[in-house]
Every structure is written in C-alpha cells, then in structure tokens.
Amino acid sequence: MSQYLLTDEQVNNAIRDLPVLSKVVSKALDLMDKDDLDFNEIAETLQHDPGISSRVLKLANSSFYGLSGQIASMKEACTVLGIYTLRNILLSAAALECFPVDVHAVFDREALWLHSFCVAGISKFIARNQRLDHDAAFTAGLLHDIGKFVLDSSFPNEFKEVLKHSDQDKYPQYKVEKEVLGIDHSSIGSHLARKWNFPDVVVSSIASHHDVNEPLSTPIIDVVHIADLIAHELENAQQDGQISLPAEIDSIERLGLTSGQLTEWLPDLLELQSTSKTLLK
Ligand SMILES: [Fe+2]
Ligand SMILES: [Fe+2]
C-alpha cells in the first residue's frame, strides 16, 4: 500500500489526463512553426477564440512588453511583437484560460496568478539586465507554479491537506506535496509543459525552480528561482514592512549578480509587483 495519499495509479492517470491545448491555440502554434509565415492566417486563427485573443492583447499591451496600449489587433500583435514573443505570450494566455480564477474554490487561484505574474515580471527584468532571453524568462516565471493548478484541479481534497500542513508547520509547500502526495507541483507542472510543447527552457524552469543546484541548472532556472524568492519577500513585506532579498549565493553568483544590485533594483521590483496586480482584472 502506498505511504502517500495518492496511489501511483492515480498520479499516472492524472498525468495521462492532463488538459490539452485548445484547437485554436494548437493550430496557431503550428502556423508559427512554418517556414513561410502568414501573419494574416495566424491572426485569423486566433480570432476564432475571443477569450484567448483578448488575453493575448492584454498581455501584449501590458507594461511588461513596453508597448502599453499600442497593439489594437492580433495582426498588429504578430507584426509588432514578432513570432517568438507572440508564441511565448500565447502559451501564457493558454495557461490562464485553462486555469481561470475560481472565487468559490478553497485554493486561492487569484493569489497564485498574482504571484505568478509578479515572478514573470521580475524574471523578465533580471533576464533583460543580464542579457538573457527575457521572453522565455517571462513565460517560465509565469508558469513556474502551474503544477499547483494541476494538483488543485486533479486532487482538490488531497491538495487541501497539503495546504493545511504547509501552513500549520511553516514547511515549504513543495516538500509537503512530495511527502503527502508523492509528487510535487514542479514535477506535475513539467509534465503539462511537455504535453503542451513548451520550449525546453520553460519546461526545465518549471521542473527545477525549487532545485537549482542540480548540475543541469541553466541561467533561466536561476532567474526564475531568484525571482520566486524575491516575489515571496515582496508579498510578505506587505505584512511586516521588512524586505530582505535572497542570499542564495549560488544562483546569484552564477547569474553574475550581487545582492547590492538586487537592493538597487528594489524600486523597480516593487513597481513590477503593482503592475502584476492589474493583469488579472
Ligand atoms: Fe513553486
Ligand atoms: Fe512560486
């Protein structure tokens, strides 16, 4: 008998039955992979799903992309942003559509999306400063905890137990998940990212954002890890007014950062946190 609340079979079934991307999103992604790109066709395809189109436009017009209010149509989004950026925005929009905020749920999805946007903005900011792929960093940051939505959707009662223990014992949630369920959100989230054909850099960031010291660590994993710690600090600072930026030397050093630099960036990071609050409305 399993020592966990979930059996291996339940976990394997949940992984097998993970949600699929909508037909519209899959078709648009296929069109984006073609050598002879047709922006009209991509724009027309996405317009078939008004929910996705409006989310893409909202993200594209957010201050995260520095184009506030300038993109009025899907066609413009294709031409102004370019396919690589649009692809990343589309994957993020698809995830938001798949796990919408549910005000009646026990698990506070709104809080998790707010945290995710904050991590996305901070990841993009750090990546841009360190001349890394900031589009990938934004997507990886936004989706780093997507496995929590999967656990909440697939196993709401067991996940409630996890939240209770993590809260009571002040113990990191991913460790409680592993101990109580036998699988954590990094792992199940990376299965979903692979199923949705996310870029490898995003899949690995989701899989390893709590475990950065593996030999396979990449700069974007380090970026998301640091951004996650900063976002939690900013969230907790609202309660006690204190901020101490992360001192996880390995990730910071690997990125060529200093803790002094992080302190200098604090006003920008706080602004990113308030920007992230506008994106769910
Ligand atoms: Fe996480
Ligand atoms: Fe997180």
Reported as a single tens digit per residue, the pLDDT across 25-40 is: 999 999 999 999 899 9
Residue 128 and residue 223: Cα distance in Å, rounded? 11
Ligand at minimal distance from the CA of 176 is: 1
Ligand at minimal distance from the CA of 119 is: 2
State residue 244's pLDDT score: 72
If you measure from the C-alpha of residue 70 to the centroid of ligand 1, how many angstroms do you get, rounded to a whole number?
Answer: 33
What average pLDDT is seen over the chain?
89
State residue 107's pLDDT score: 86
Ligand at minimal distance from the CA of 229 is: 2
If you measure from the C-alpha of residue 86 to the centroid of ligand 2, how many angstroms do you get, rounded to a whole number?
Answer: 24
CATH topology of domain 99-281: Hypothetical protein af1432 (1.10.3210)
Q: What angle do CA 12, 228, 111 make, to 5 degrees?
A: 75
Spatial contact of 272 and 234, defined as CB atoms under 8 Å apart:
no
State residue 250's pLDDT score: 83
Question: Which of 135, 129, 132 is closest to 59 using CA atoms?
Answer: 135
- 63 by Cβ neighbours in 10 Å (0-12 / 13-18 / 19+) ranks as middle
Beta-carbon neighbour count of residue 30 at 10 Å? 12
Ligand at minimal distance from the CA of 227 is: 2
Query: What does the DSSP 8-state code read for residue 65?
Result: G
- 66 by Cβ neighbours in 10 Å (0-12 / 13-18 / 19+) ranks as exposed
pLDDT tier, 113 (very low <50, low <70, confident <90, very high otherwise):
very high
State residue 240's pLDDT score: 62
State residue 264's pLDDT score: 87
Spatial contact of 255 and 261, defined as CB atoms under 8 Å apart:
no
Q: What is the mean pLDDT of residues 119-130?
A: 95
Question: Which of 111, 178, 190, 177 is closest to 144 using CA atoms?
Answer: 190
State residue 245's pLDDT score: 67
State residue 239's pLDDT score: 64
If you measure from the C-alpha of residue 134 to the centroid of ligand 1, how many angstroms do you get, rounded to a whole number?
Answer: 20
At residue 176, does pLDDT exceed 90? yes
3-state secondary structure of 45: helix
Query: Which residue would you say has higher pLDDT here, 153 or 63?
Result: 153
Q: What is the mean pLDDT of residues 222-249?
A: 80
pLDDT tier, 247 (very low <50, low <70, confident <90, very high otherwise):
low
Lowest-pLDDT range of 16-30, 42-56, 260-274: 260-274
Query: pLDDT, tens digit, for every residue of 183-217?
Result: 999 999 999 999 998 999 999 999 999 988 766 78
If you measure from the C-alpha of residue 264 to the centroid of ligand 1, how many angstroms do you get, rounded to a whole number?
Answer: 26
pTM of the model: 0.90
Which residues hold their Cβ within 5 A of ligand 1, which is an ion? Answer: 145
Which residues hold their Cβ within 5 A of ligand 2, which is an ion? Answer: 145, 228
State residue 235's pLDDT score: 86
If you measure from the C-alpha of residue 1 to the centroid of ligand 1, how many angstroms do you get, rounded to a whole number?
Answer: 28
CATH 1.10.3210.10 range(s) for the chain read 99-281
At residue 88, does pLDDT exceed 60? yes
If you measure from the C-alpha of residue 143 to the centroid of ligand 1, how many angstroms do you get, rounded to a whole number?
Answer: 9
pLDDT tier, 2 (very low <50, low <70, confident <90, very high otherwise):
low
Residue 199 and residue 253: Cα distance in Å, rounded? 25
Ligand at minimal distance from the CA of 189 is: 1
At residue 241, does pLDDT exceed 80? no
State residue 267's pLDDT score: 87
Spatial contact of 185 and 154, defined as CB atoms under 8 Å apart:
no
If you measure from the C-alpha of residue 22 to the centroid of ligand 1, how many angstroms do you get, rounded to a whole number?
Answer: 25
State residue 1's pLDDT score: 44
pLDDT tier, 149 (very low <50, low <70, confident <90, very high otherwise):
very high
Spatial contact of 245 and 259, defined as CB atoms under 8 Å apart:
yes
Q: What is the mean pLDDT of residues 145-170?
A: 92
DSSP assignment string, 161-180: HHHHHHHHHT--HHHHHHHH
